[in-house]
Copies of this chain bind each other. A is one copy, B any other.
Amino acid sequence: MRMEDLKRILTEVKNNKTDVQDALKLISNLPYVDIGFAKYDTHRFLRQGFPEVIFGEGKTDKEMVKLCKIAVENGGVVMVTRVVKKTADYVRKHIDGFKYHADAHMLTYGRSNGKRSKTGILIMTAGTVDRFVAEEARITAQMFGNTVDTSYDVGVAGLHRLLDQMEKIKKARVIVVAAGMDGALPSVVGGLVDKPVIAVPVSSGYGASFKGLSSLLTMLNSCSPTVAVVNIDNGFGAGFMASLINRL
């Protein structure tokens, strides 16, 4: 149930278009739907302004379809993260309107129809392999109504590529930086700006990158106090956090 739905119902009650009993029934939906293996949160839109995002791992194709149906019925705007193509195809075969974003491994349905933010979020990556995580952040931020720009493959080993992005960097209100290996990009970007930088460690790399531990530690130890960190590979979290901040 979206805020606008709630407003509409209340307005109809006020205008005597819906009687109190029916309104009560409509509103008094349980705040979640219990479907055994999961409890789908239908009031999150009211609480946080966003629909519950479905975490795609560990669910069978059938369970995914079941959850997606409830989500479509309750929110209208749906995001599923970490969906492999096979499951995505299965969902799309059973429910119309879902779109699959291959690089981001996401399924989306509908889109925030609020006004698009004027100033926006910049998503940056250090290397080409970081783009999968960055795309998850980008799709997430766009689904929440943000204007999003990107600067990919601008790692610190080629400082001139990074400095060429200064205009984009200055224009953004919030910056998301995805980086694996040495994870040094957020520190450098964070030193250039006076706005929040959300750093996402990426599990790319090999050897002593220890599946993202290396860049995670780098980012937590960033000498720029403009940097906060989310989980390794958590592009969704970074996009969500940036959306929360940009909305302020």
Asked, given contacts A127-B55, A210-B217, whether A159 binds B191 with beta carbons under 8 Å apart, the answer is yes
Quick check: which of A45-53, A68-76, A83-91, A106-114 contacts chain B, the rest being far away?
A45-53
Chain B hits for A148, CB < 8 A: none
The one of B48, B157, B218, B241 in contact with A228, judged by C-beta atoms closer than 8 angstroms, is: B241
A224 to B190, CA, bound (A): 20
Contact status A194-B41, CB under 8 Å: no
Chain B hits for A160, CB < 8 A: 31-32, 43
**Chain A residues bordering chain B, tally (CB within 8 A):** 93
Chain B hits for A227, CB < 8 A: 230, 237, 241
Shortest A90–chain B CB gap in Å is 17
A225 to B53, CA, bound (A): 10
| Nearest chain B residue, comparing its CB with the CB of A230 | B228
A236 lies within 8 A of chain B by Cβ: yes
Copies in the complex: 8
A50 to B131, CA, bound (A): 26
Contact status B221-A244, CB under 8 Å: no
Asked, given contacts A128-B38, A190-B157, whether A213 binds B204 with beta carbons under 8 Å apart, the answer is no
The one of B127, B194, B232 in contact with A208, judged by C-beta atoms closer than 8 angstroms, is: B232
Chain B hits for A187, CB < 8 A: 156-157, 182, 184
Contact status A188-B196, CB under 8 Å: no
Chain B hits for A55, CB < 8 A: 127-129
A63 to B236, CA, bound (A): 25
Shortest A79–chain B CB gap in Å is 11
The one of B128, B188, B195, B246 in contact with A37, judged by C-beta atoms closer than 8 angstroms, is: B128
Contact status B126-A196, CB under 8 Å: no
Interface CB pairs A-B, < 8 A, 5: A31-B160, A36-B152, A55-B129, A156-B187, A229-B229
The 6 residue pairs across chains A and B that have the minimum distance between CB atoms: A207-B232, A58-B129, A184-B184, A157-B191, A48-B194, A228-B228
Contact status A232-B245, CB under 8 Å: no
The one of B32, B47, B154, B220 in contact with A207, judged by C-beta atoms closer than 8 angstroms, is: B220
Contact status B221-A205, CB under 8 Å: yes
Contact status A58-B128, CB under 8 Å: yes
A222 lies within 8 A of chain B by Cβ: yes
Chain B hits for A246, CB < 8 A: 248
A32 to B148, CA, bound (A): 23
